[in-house]
Amino acid sequence: MKIQIIYLDPQDDHASAREKLNWCQAPRAALVWPNRGRILTRRLDLVLIDRHAQKRGLKIGLVTIDPTIREHALSIGIPTFDSVDDVSQESWFARRPPSPVDPDPDRDRVGIRERLFGERRPFEAMARSRRILQWVIGVIGLVALIVLVGALLPSAQVVLTPETQTQTLAFEITLDPELTVASAGGNLPARLNSVVLQGSSNQPTSARVSVPTGHASGTVVFTNLTLNPIIVPAGTGVRTISDPAIRFQTITTANLPGGPDTTTSARVRALEAGASSNVPAEAIQAIEGLLGLEVTVRNPDAFENGSDITQSAVAEGDLNALQADLTQSLIDEAEAAWIAALDEDQVLVVESITVSQIFDLDFSCAAGEVAESVSLSMEAEITGLTYAQADLESILQQTMDTALTGNQQAVPGSLEMSFLTEAQWGADGLVSFSLAAHRSTYEAIDRRALAGQLQGRSMAETAAIFAARHDLSVEEISIWPRWFPNLPWLSLRIAIVWSWENP
């Protein structure tokens, strides 16, 4: 007859055991007790399970060596087996009808014990052996746990500082806006920033010029060269014979009597103001027009009243200086705006900022004009280059790494730069600059091998090991737990770290 094996779990009770019986598809079911733990040790538990099986038309058997459970099963009429292999080999005895009530329950209890004594003894011996085995295994496990904890629990950290050398290399860096990836040759990707700005400025003029204010005047004498009387009308022009000539005009009409060498005088006034018109005596000797063929002129006395005043005027240098100042102001404005908007890793090359195009340039005065001040309004496009600090450091690190020899390695974070030249525009239209890169290097060590040398060592022995080495110095040795006297016996529990790796 088909038998279905049902394994019970250490956490099962009579309810979960009955639930497992609900899934039984065979007429017989063997309930197998777990090797660990004791479950369903009450007689009532077995009675409830047996009743549920009978309702479903099942016959159950128990696979267990627990003497208490076997005793309860025997009293109920449930067959028991030592192992799963015995289930199919041994016969399932028929259920006994309930025995009549004995008026002397104590005698019946004694009889049951007597009937079961011979059957319990082997199970009690097996249980005793099982308990002894469990005790021995427990002791062995405890000893193993103590050894394991002693090996795995302690940990140590040894912080070292190596002997370092300084590595220095010089670089020529060229910023190229058309690049997207840095190259080992020193070409660095750059970003061209552009902004259009407007501005105005003014400044005092620096030139001083003489401005004519008063017109020179004086008296001239006309001499008749003919026999006829001559009228010299007002406004007649007379001048000096110097180069350039200084011109004058008569203020009033002069009448010359007829006859040679007759004379008359008239007042004249310089056409142009200024002290240069104060001519000396006998400087005026020419008459303008046809009248000069008939009359001569001379000034017997020096002229006066011509005067100049000194005033401010615009010099060419004023215009150049004003444009240079306003240009620098716009450059400074663009620089401040770009710096404020830069990412943390971006670097602005100040020397690359320049005016790339001027859209409007308007001076209030031209050079030479009289003015106390001159102003300028300008609109221009300002451009400048930025680059990523990470790109620059990448070029430096890669080049310097190729120069390392043997087991040399760079100390992280030790890279420093010093600029040898300022950035400047080259003939190729690119900005370049020179710098020197410095960083610390050290000889790498086999950390696992060193940890193997230190395993199980005391603090004094560890200190002596490092005292004998000149390439390493100990910053700190920490052991956990603190009361543990030596470094761990397992090298995997010893961490060798550099001082820059220690948080």
User: pLDDT tens digits, residue range 32-71?
Assistant: 999 887 889 899 999 999 999 999 888 999 999 999 999 9
| Separation of alpha carbons 88 and 79, rounded Å | 12
3-class secondary-structure state, position 169: strand
In this predicted structure, the answer to whether residue 116 has a pLDDT above a threshold of 50 is: no
Planar angle of CA 475, 457, 485, nearest 5 degrees: 85
Helix 447-454 with 459-467: angle, nearest 10 deg: 130
| Separation of alpha carbons 242 and 206, rounded Å | 33
Q: What is the pLDDT at residue 463?
A: 87
CB 376 within 8 A of CB 326: yes
Q: Which residues contact 176 (CB under 8 A, 6 or more apart)?
A: 187, 188, 189, 190, 430
At the second CATH level, the architecture of 209-311 is Beta Barrel (2.40)
Question: What's the average model confidence in pLDDT over 294-319?
Answer: 93
Read off the DSSP letter of residue 245: -
Band of residue 359 on the pLDDT scale cut at 50, 70, 90: very high
Q: What is the pLDDT at residue 126?
A: 64
Q: What is the pLDDT at residue 124?
A: 56
Question: What's the average model confidence in pLDDT over 224-238?
Answer: 94
CB 305 within 8 A of CB 329: no
**Single-letter residue type at 316:** E
Helix 43-55 with 67-76: angle, nearest 10 deg: 50
Q: What is the pLDDT at residue 107?
A: 45
At the second CATH level, the architecture of 3-98 is 2-Layer Sandwich (3.30)
Q: What is the pLDDT at residue 363?
A: 94
Q: How far apart are the first and last CA of the chain?
A: 73
| Single pTM value for the model | 0.55
Q: What is the pLDDT at residue 374?
A: 93
In this predicted structure, the answer to whether residue 2 has a pLDDT above a threshold of 50 is: yes
User: Of 15-19, 105-109, 298-302, 498-502, where does mean pLDDT reach its minimum?
Assistant: 105-109
CA distances from 323 to 177, 305, 380 (A): 29, 42, 12
Q: What helix, strand, coil percent values describe the chain, rounded to 5?
A: 30, 35, 35
CB 380 within 8 A of CB 355: yes
The sign one gets for the Cα dihedral 200, 203, 208, 212 is: positive
Residue with tokens 């295994």: 137
Condensed to tens digits (0 to 9), the pLDDT of residues 178-192 reads 988 888 778 899 999
| Separation of alpha carbons 278 and 494, rounded Å | 108
